[in-house]
Amino acid sequence: MKTKLTKTETKYLKHLTKKHILLPTKFKKPLVKGWNKYYVEYRSVEKLLEINQEYSLRTGTKIGRDYYFIVIDLDDIWAKERIKVSRYVETSKGIHRYIWIKELPKSCYLVNQDGEHLGEIHSKGRFVVGIGSIHESGVRYILKGSNSLKWSLKFESLKELQAFLTERKILTTPWGKKGLENVRDLELYKKKESKPKSPSKESQYFQKKQKLAAKVNNHPRKSELNICYICLVYFPKLPEIIKSHLQGKKHQKNWKVHQAKKLSTK
């Protein structure tokens, strides 16, 4: 089976064959870990096709300064008729329509007017098998469409993309959900805010130590008090109380931990 790209397909893929977009896959499964966070691919499409007869394109990725790359993936028998204003990629069951858009949507399901599943919009955290790849059934992913049609579809906003889909009787639902009761407008993808890191145990210790020292320093009888910075407590400066504390199980345990830490930092 021929996997080599045609000149037209190579030209079409020009802006997508980038190291942050390409992904080695086999049977639609990534061949690398951390592919959506850390991975970069330095091999060419031709090389990936030579090795596995397949490669993929990571969606939700930036194309240039202003646009994101996403894909409309339709699997129903009317897919070609629904998206006939531009070129498309013929897949084993339907079509992929590559989209350039300024506002990044969340990935979602596409349904018809009866709420039946038609396909998906693949955005951040997903990928699609690329042109020239060979499906396990033997079907080649082929660029289709007349030379007179647009190379790509560009949208400035989610509202524009929503109108484009609605005009073609395509409705959107949250990922994994079908049925008219789940129909929702496209949602803007928002990066999850990372949780603030908890202070380290060492940092927590010094904070408690400072608070304890300040508390004792402001005590009206501070000269009569003794501080144990190992256990972070204070008590009357009396020999019997000091001795009792030092011989106590809690102090002995904390002392061993303290000594172990000192040894590990040497």
**Per-residue pLDDT, 58:** 97
**Distance in angstroms (rounded) separating the CA atoms of residues 58 and 200:** 36
Return the SS3 of 69: strand
- pLDDT tens, residue by residue, 106-126: 999 999 999 999 999 999 999
Structure tokens at 96: 């992929």
Q: What is the DSSP letter of 240?
A: H
**Angle at Cα 75 formed by Cα 74 and Cα 78, nearest 5°?**
85
Is residue 144 predicted with pLDDT exceeding 80?
A: yes
- The whole-number pLDDT of residue 80 equals 75
Residue 194: its pLDDT value, please? 58
Average pLDDT across the chain, whole number = 89
| 62-66 long-range contacts, CB within 8 A, separation 24+ | 62/20, 63/15, 63/16, 63/100, 64/15, 66/102
* % of residues, the chain, pLDDT over 90: 53
pLDDT bin (cut points 50, 70, 90) of residue 264 is: low
- Beta-strand ranges (E) seen in the chain are 22-23, 25-26, 29-30, 56-58, 61-63, 67-74, 88-90, 95-101, 108-111, 117-122, 127-129, 142-144, 153-155, 171-174, 225-228, 233-236
- The pLDDT value given to residue 212: 85
Task: Name which of 6-15, 31-40, 195-204, 207-216 the model is least confident about.
Answer: 195-204
pLDDT for 126 equals 97
Give tens-digit pLDDT for 55-83.
999 999 999 889 999 999 998 777 777 77
> Above 60 in pLDDT, residue 266?
no
pLDDT band at 182 (very low <50, low <70, confident <90, very high): very high
Residue 42: count of CB within 10 angstroms of its CB: 7
pLDDT of residue 18: 93
- The pLDDT score that the predictor gives to residue 263 is 66
What pLDDT does 236 receive? Answer: 87
Q: What is the per-residue pLDDT across 201-253, written as a single tens digit (0 to 9) for each?
A: 778 888 888 888 888 888 888 888 888 888 888 888 888 888 888 888 888 88
pTM (two decimals): 0.72
